[in-house]
């Protein structure tokens, strides 16, 4: 299989090269287990970068994401701003993410339309919740202070913790309605996409942990995060895809095209689809 020049670039980067190229990345053994880097969006350059953007969303750009090497091994902490700038993404900067697909007991999928206030992928329809584990022990899946060894199981647990946090923050879903043990991890996808046009200054380059949960939670969407939301059947989602007035996030389209409908047909037998290999979609 032929790989793209960009894929080859990302694959070639060592930990040392990444830390040298992106000097605002904090090496993992120097992180302080704090979820954000205060005042990292306050420079004059940042004021121009975020001109016209929502203040609450700008503040979230100070959160510390998990910077990765090609093999999904954490190497440091980088702010959400640093990890989502296309200038950095084009040089290979990669971070960890998760995507949740929440189905109710009628097997309808909860979708959200990202709010107009969002800095990246605003107003696009997508799966229930998509965000990033933070570079803290509970969401990293390892304690960097005792040099705890990385493993996929620990990383999956960290992604579930992050998912529970963000489902509350974005959709007002209480943690007790979505216990960690009910989340099913299926696979990881590695993809890159600008936010909007090819000339966008923002984008995504992620290894995305796919989590599925069946639940009937209470939910009250946060209007700063979610513009609209609804449960849909398979047929209703397919009809939405036919509507040219609707725009969907790139990761949601990739997952739907490659996986979603066969998962949907087997929601009570998902273990057969668990894959520990990263699906590269670069």
Catalytic residue IDs: 130, 206
What is the spatial distance between Cα 248 and Cα 257, in angstroms, rounded to a whole number?
12
Facing residues of 125 across strands?
Answer: 113, 248
**Phi and psi based region of residue 218 (left: phi greater than 0; alpha: psi -120 to 50; beta: remaining):** beta
Decide: 80 and 62 in contact? Cβ < 8 Å. yes
From the list 107, 105, 108, 111, the residue with the least C-alpha distance to 229 is 111
Alpha-carbon distance values, 119 to 58, 195, 203, 204 (Å): 8, 9, 10, 12
What is the spatial distance between Cα 193 and Cα 90, in angstroms, rounded to a whole number?
10
Q: What are phi and psi of 59, to 5 degrees?
A: -60, -35
């Amino acid at each position: 299989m032929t790989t793209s020049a960009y894929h080859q670039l990302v694959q070639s980067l060592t930990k040392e090269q990444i830390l040298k190229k992106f000097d605002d990345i904090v090496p993992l053994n120097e992180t302080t287990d704090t979820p954000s880097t205060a005042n990292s969006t306050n420079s004059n350059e940042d004021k121009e970068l975020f001109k016209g953007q929502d203040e609450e969303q700008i503040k979230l750009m100070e959160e510390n994401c998990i910077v990765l090497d090609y093999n999904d091994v954490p190497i440091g902490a980088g702010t959400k701003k640093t990890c989502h700038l296309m200038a950095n993404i084009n040089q290979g900067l990669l971070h960890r993410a998760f995507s949740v697909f929440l189905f109710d007991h009628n097997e309808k999928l909860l979708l959200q339309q990202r709010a107009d206030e969002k800095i990246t992928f605003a107003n696009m329809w997508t799966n229930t919740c998509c965000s990033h584990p933070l570079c803290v022990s509970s969401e990293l899946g390892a304690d960097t202070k005792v040099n705890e060894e990385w493993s996929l199981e620990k990383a999956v647990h960290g992604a579930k913790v992050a998912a529970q946090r963000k489902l509350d923050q974005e959709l007002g879903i209480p943690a007790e309605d979505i216990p960690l043990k009910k989340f099913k991890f299926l696979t990881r996808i590695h993809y890159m996409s600008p936010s909007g046009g090819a000339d966008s200054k923002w984008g995504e380059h992620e290894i995305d942990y796919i989590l599925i949960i069946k639940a009937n939670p209470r939910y009250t969407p946060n209007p700063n995060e979610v513009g609209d939301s609804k449960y849909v059947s398979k047929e209703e989602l397919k009809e939405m895809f036919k509507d040219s007035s609707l725009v969907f996030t790139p990761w949601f389209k990739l997952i739907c095209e490659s996986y979603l409908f066969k998962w949907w047909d087997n929601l009570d037998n998902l273990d057969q689809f668990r894959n520990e290999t990263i699906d590269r979609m670069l």
